[in-house]
Amino acid sequence: MKLLPYKSGSSYLLAFSPANTYRAVMLNVVLWGGIYFLLLRLSRRNQRVFPVVMLTLVSLVSFVALYGIGLSTISVDEIVFMFGRKRLLYLEIVCCLSGVAGVFLMVRYREQLARLCLALSVCSAPFILVTFGQSVAALARMEPAVLFHPHRLDPATPLHNPLGTKVIWMIFDETDYRLCFEKRPAGFSFPAFDGVRANALWATHAYSPSDATQVSLPALLTGIPLKSSQAVGARRLDLTRADTLASIDFAAQETIFDRVKMRRGSTALFGWFHPYGRVMHGVDLCRDYPRYNFFTSDSLPEVLLFQWVEIWDMRFPFSNTLLGNNHIGIVKSMQSDVLAAVRNQDPSFMFLHYPVPHSPNIYDPKTGAFAFQGNSHEGYLDNMVLADRCLAELRAEMERKGCWDDSLVVISSDHHWRTNTYDWKTDYEHVPFMIKFPHQRKGTTYDGRFNTVLTQDLILAVLDGKVTSPKDAALWLDQATKKVPYNKTIISTNQPDND
């Protein structure tokens, strides 16, 4: 479902070329087919054992296939969001009863069903040629592996800041304004976020360029209001402008990194989801952490092993530890790299795109430990506690270096929480937005409504000396909003759980 037929656009979010994934599919089909055939040959010597083996194998293959197709179409969180926990429980009961009925029928009519399954297996065997044909065709059309790199960019010499003002712009993916700030549930506290907010300009009516990461991040970095995006290749993401509807290539656009470089500043970028290292320019120091889609690697044995493990992990309920562990690895790696950059580098502008509180839920605030959890009720807020921890660690490192108070700090999100499984109230109209000016000691509130696509222009106005205080920022936003007539979040057609 995820692999065939091959679509070149699906390679945009991958860390490596998917070539080995297709090679592994063909090898595993041969291997699994051989095991299937061997077990049937051995069991046919005993007429009592054969029906049991036949039906067991077919049931396992059918369950894995159907459940896998289901996960490819809709996630468990989306089901909970759309139908609620009670209806999901009813669905689980129906599935369990259907399973019991299926087992009864297989026991009662095992010999007849075994013969039918054997006939169906023989009839479906030619479809192996379709799988192999599509895999070979995919390999022939695939982009060269070199286009999927780099994911790391390092400066030739340590970065320094000739601009005076240091800027840190943080995007915490899918942070919800209402649930995390205005209507925060009892028992949850985010002291790091509240600490910045207390001495910053806090916007009460900011909204994101889109509800999709694949649209919002390019819009934020280019300053161009966008309607949609379409992945075309490993290094190609086509964007549709919201004003003219013209199609433009993300990698060809001037971004805030280029504009800081024009001012002779230095730049650093740490972010998940997008393959920033291979599509961005004007970046001196970069680390990207592509989101899990389907596993790819430059090592064929790794992919072969993964496809075996995936069957038992991601295709069965209450599991998905591979996805969770991948998310944990991204958060840990990114935070370690960010803190190291603060200690050892001094960029003029640093952009951070954090993968939390976005799902999967990976944090236990009671123990402070990373662990995949399936708590769809409070798991999102637990991830928000992790986001708060990341912010606290970053601030502490900057304070140790003596650069927190001197810095312009901007904190926001790329979109709201789209699959709210806590209270099922989706706030499409807001995202959190706060901006702390150097040496700011007092908080202020801005109630004007504005699109956060304006953020990079506001940052550049600060670097140019045109905006020097929260009061200036409020006046600047009032004027700039009149030039951006897009007063609603653009709702994407992307699957909410995909980004």
Q: State residue 1's pLDDT score.
A: 42
Query: Do residues 383 and 362 make contact, with C-beta atoms less than 8 angstroms apart?
Result: yes
Total residues found in the chain within this entry = 499
Query: Do residues 4 and 21 make contact, with C-beta atoms less than 8 angstroms apart?
Result: no
Total Cβ atoms within 10 A of residue 73: 10
Kindly report the three-state secondary structure assignment for every residue of 137-154: HHHHHCCCHHHHCCCEEC
- Strands 363-364, 444-451: parallel, antiparallel or unpaired by DSSP? unpaired
As given in the structure block, the two tokens for residue 36 are 């299937």
Looking at residue 496, the DSSP 8-state letter turns out to be G
The CA distance from 270 to 340, in Å, is 12
Q: State residue 315's pLDDT score.
A: 47
Q: State residue 88's pLDDT score.
A: 66
Q: State residue 85's pLDDT score.
A: 63
- Which residue stretches of the chain have pLDDT < 70? 1-5, 63-88, 292-294, 312-320, 484-499
Extents of the domains making up the chain: 19-141, 150-297+318-498
As given in the structure block, the two tokens for residue 237 are 């993401």
Instruction: Write down the CATH superfamily of domain 150-297+318-498.
Output: Alkaline Phosphatase, subunit A (3.40.720.10)
Q: State residue 495's pLDDT score.
A: 46
Query: Residue 232: what are its φ and ψ, rounded to 5°?
Result: -115, -35
- Using the structure block, give the residue that is written with the tokens 């990698």: 251
Burial of 344 (0-12, 13-18, 19+ CB in 10 A): exposed
Closest-CA residue to 171 (of 351, 31, 38): 351
The CA distance from 177 to 188, in Å, is 14
Closest-CA residue to 413 (of 209, 168, 166, 200): 209
The sign of the torsion formed by the CA atoms of 138, 141, 144, 147 equals negative
> Euclidean distance between the first and final Cα of the chain, in Å?
18
pTM over 0.85: yes
Total Cβ atoms within 10 A of residue 317: 11
The CA distance from 216 to 494, in Å, is 12
Q: At what angle do helices 470-481 and 455-463 cross, to 10 degrees?
A: 130
In three-state secondary structure terms, 285 is strand
Q: State residue 29's pLDDT score.
A: 86
Burial 121-148 (b: 16+ CB within 10 A, else e): beeeeeeeeeeeebbeebbeebbeeeeb
Angle at 42 between CA 39 and CA 44, to 5 degrees: 105
Q: State residue 145's pLDDT score.
A: 92
